[in-house]
Amino acid sequence: MSSVAVAASTTAKVRNGRPSKVSSGNSRSRVGESGILPSSLIVPRCAIVDPSFPLNATLPRWFRTEAGLWSRSRSDTIEEAMNPKIVLVAPSDAHEPARTMLPSGFDLLIEAAGSPAYAAALREAEYLVGFVDMLVKESLYQAAPRLRLIQLLSAGYDRADIATARRAGVPIANNGGANAVAVAEHALLLMLAVSRRLIWQHASVSAGRWRGNATPRVHELRSRTLGIVGLGTIGKKTARLAAAFGMPVQYYDIARLSEDAEDALGVRFRLLRELLRTSDIVSLHVPLNPSTQGMLGAAELALMKPDAILVNTSRGPVVDEPALHRALSAGAIAGAGLDVFAEEPPPVDNPLFKLDNVVLSAHLAGPTFESNIARLRNAFDNVQRVARGEPPLWVIPELG
């Protein structure tokens, strides 16, 4: 007999290096003393004789010759069939880290949102993890009757249907500040790039003009007053970084800190209009919701100093974009650093693209290698909490 044959009445679908479901089937051939091959595998005899046979590298870890016998116990099969399922919806660069970081006792199903495989996976899913706030709607809860937690990899959740989520009673958690350092650093990057006219300098040098006809007027961050709008996790990280540059920091938030907390962080509370009037740089760190949409319009921008800079790493619709363009074009404010836009991706004819006092990035403040790892770590930690019967962390305020 040239191969070890097994019955193929069902097919085991392999995910995360292990089958997500294995039927007991009618296996006829035994390997070793007690193991049984899953019904979906036919293993050439040469692979058993020679462990270097290429097929060995493609088999699940529990089925390789490094273990001594090519075998799998019935208890493993039963245990895996009962493992809770995590469905991950995320960019491809998160797939391998997710497989590596997956805690034991869970099955990971990585699917593209909207695909037939995704719909099938939802039927058994207890946890949905990813950049999925746009998927939070009635159809999700109908498709995933066993869902226990929606764990976002993002900080924002502005596309989620909160009313439907509240009725469903399934908690939604954000990333727990996993990208706070990344976004805070990016905010400081934009402050520096605008203050030092970095884009102008790069264009001048690369075009062979060196300094051009005149050295531009640039500013240090030291002693420039930073006004932070929204002092959450990211806002606090930004305040600490700004303090390292010697910047006085003031803030506006709907929930004021205690005086002791303000002293510890080195910040002072200001009402929004006062903050706009007295800040040299205004940095936005608020979530997008009905109360913050259009928060900075023409009237608010008119309060800012003529040499002030606006930085937005939160959400584009927080700012009235046409009003911002008019203020920048007229010199009502000195410049802006923008990572987010009213429409994303923005149309190619967006008038902000033609201004030389603006520095732009493509909503990339949050995704760094380090923050992507931290997102997954926090997500899996929260999944394990719920599996243990503990309440999840970082539940969004509307559902808390």
User: Minimal CA–CA distance to 327: which of 346, 343, 305, 312?
Assistant: 305
Please confirm, yes or no, whether 344 is among the known catalytic residues.
Answer: yes
CA distance 376 to 95: 10
- Secondary structure letter of residue 102 according to DSSP: P
User: What distance in Å separates the CA atoms of residue 326 and residue 328, rounded to the nearest whole number?
Assistant: 5
CA–CA gap between residue 51 and residue 63 (Å, rounded): 12
Give the burial class of 143: count Cβ atoms within 10 A of its Cβ; 0-12 exposed, 13-18 middle, 19 or more buried.
middle
Q: Which amino acid is at 182?
A: A
DSSP 42-97: -EEHHHHH-TTSTHHHHS-GGGSGGGSSS---HHHHHHHHTSPEEEEE--GGGHHH
29-49: burial string, b at 16+ Cβ within 10 Å, e else: eebeeebbbbbbbebeeebbe
375 is catalytic: no
CA 33 vs. chain centroid, Å, equals 47
Active-site option among 79, 344, 390, 398: 344
Tokens of 31: 């390997």
C-alpha 179/C-alpha 284 separation (Å) is 16
Is 274 a catalytic site residue?
no
**Residue with token string 């940095």:** 283
Please give the positions annotated as active site: 315, 344, 363
